[in-house]
C-alpha cells in the first residue's frame, strides 16, 4: 500500500510539472473557476490572446493597481504581506497581500476561497511558475485567465464586453477602469463606471503615469 501511494504521488508530481512546462507556451483549456462560472451562469465569455495583442495600457494598469513590484520580485511581496497582516489585525476588512504571480497560481491551478491548504498550494505553484515561466508569460496568463466580470474571463473578452473594442485599443482610462474592478469584478460596474470605480481608476491612472518610465517595467512590456 505504501509503495502504491508513493507511486501515485510520484506520477502526480511528474504530470503537474509537465503541465506547468506545457503552459509556458500553451493556454490552459479551462480553469476550475471558469468551469464553476459556466455551471452557475450557463455561459462563459473567454478569448485568449497573445501578449503582443494586449497592448501596453492594460499591462501598465494592472501592474499599477495590483502589484507594482511585479517586475522585480520573485513571486512574493514580503513587505506587502506584512502590511496586509497588520491591517487585518486592526481592521474589520481583510486585506490581501497577493502578487500577480500568486493570483495566476490561484487562477490557473487552484480554486477560489480561503483555506490553509489552498494557500500552501498557491505558494508552491507561485514558486514554480516564477522559476519556469517568464515575467511576460505570467502577466499574459494573468490577463487571459482573470475574471473581469460575471462569467467574463480575460482582457480581450472584457474589452469587447465593456467597450466593444479589442484589448490593444483600450485607452488608459478604459484600462484603468477594468483594473479598478479586479478585486471584486462581479460587484462593480466598469461601463458605466460606479463612483467607486471612477475614483479608483483616476488613482490608477496617476500610478500609471508614475510607473510608465520605470526601466524594470519597460523590460517586461517588450
Q: How far apart are CA 179 and CA 161, in angstroms?
A: 14
Residue at 76 is within a domain: yes
Which CATH number do you get for residue 128?
1.10.3810.10
Instruction: State yes or no: pLDDT of 110 exceeds 70.
Output: yes
How confident is residue 94, by pLDDT bands cut at 50, 70 and 90?
Answer: very low
Q: Check: CB of residue 85 under 8 Å from CB of residue 128.
A: no
Say yes or no to pLDDT of 6 above 50. yes
Residue 80 has pLDDT above 80, yes or no: no
Cβ atoms of 141 and 104 closer than 8 Å: yes
In a domain, 12, yes or no: no
Average pLDDT over residues 117-138: 94
Bridge partners for 190 per DSSP = 193
CA distance 51 to 11: 32
Query: Is the pLDDT score of 82 beyond 90?
Result: no
**What's the pTM value of the predicted model, to 2 decimals?**
0.89
Residue 6 lies in a domain: no
Contact 176, 61 (CB under 8 A): yes
User: If we measure between CA atoms, which residue out of 96, 101, 69 comes closest to residue 83?
Assistant: 96
Task: Say if CB 109 and CB 129 are below 8 A apart.
Answer: no
Tell me how far apart the alpha carbons of residues 113 and 103 are, in angstroms, rounded to a whole number: 12
If one counts the domains in the chain, the total is 1
The answer as to whether 90 is a domain residue is: yes
Q: In which domain, by residue range, is 140 found? A: 26-221
Domain annotation covers residue 16? no
Residue 183 lies in a domain: yes
121 domain residue, yes or no: yes
Give residue-wise pLDDT tens across range 205-219.
Answer: 999 999 988 999 999
Rounded Cα–Cα distance for residues 124 and 205 (Å) = 33
pLDDT tens sequence across 27-79: 999 898 888 888 887 778 898 999 999 999 999 999 999 999 999 999 887 77
3-state secondary structure of 153: strand
Among residues 36, 52, 54, the alpha carbon closest in space to that of 44 is found at 36
Domain membership of residue 168 (yes or no) is yes
- Name the nearest CA neighbour of 147 among 35, 50, 23, 8: 35
Minimum mean pLDDT among 113-122, 162-171, 178-187, 200-209: which range?
113-122
Amino acid at each position: 500500500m505504501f509503495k502504491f501511494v508513493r507511486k501515485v504521488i510520484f506520477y502526480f508530481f511528474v504530470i503537474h510539472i509537465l503541465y506547468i512546462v506545457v503552459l509556458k507556451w500553451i493556454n490552459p483549456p479551462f480553469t476550475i473557476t471558469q468551469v464553476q462560472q459556466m455551471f452557475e451562469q450557463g455561459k462563459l465569455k473567454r478569448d485568449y490572446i497573445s501578449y503582443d495583442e494586449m497592448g501596453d495600457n492594460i499591462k501598465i494598469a494592472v501592474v499599477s493597481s495590483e502589484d507594482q513590484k511585479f517586475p522585480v520580485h520573485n513571486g512574493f511581496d514580503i513587505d506587502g504581506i506584512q502590511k496586509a497582516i497588520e491591517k487585518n489585525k486592526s481592521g474589520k476588512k481583510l486585506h490581501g497581500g497577493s502578487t500577480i504571480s500568486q493570483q495566476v497560481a490561484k487562477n490557473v491551478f487552484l480554486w477560489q476561497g480561503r483555506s490553509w491548504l489552498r494557500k500552501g498550494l498557491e505558494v508552491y505553484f507561485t514558486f514554480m511558475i516564477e522559476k519556469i515561466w517568464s515575467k511576460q508569460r505570467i502577466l499574459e496568463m494573468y490577463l487571459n485567465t482573470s475574471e473581469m466580470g460575471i462569467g467574463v474571463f480575460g482582457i480581450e473578452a472584457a474589452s469587447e464586453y465593456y467597450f466593444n473594442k479589442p484589448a490593444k485599443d483600450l485607452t488608459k482610462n478604459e484600462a484603468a477602469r477594468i483594473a479598478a474592478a479586479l478585486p471584486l469584478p462581479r460587484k462593480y460596474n466598469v461601463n458605466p463606471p460606479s463612483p467607486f470605480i471612477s475614483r479608483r481608476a483616476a488613482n490608477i491612472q496617476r500610478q500609471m503615469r508614475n510607473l510608465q518610465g520605470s526601466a524594470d517595467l519597460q523590460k517586461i512590456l517588450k
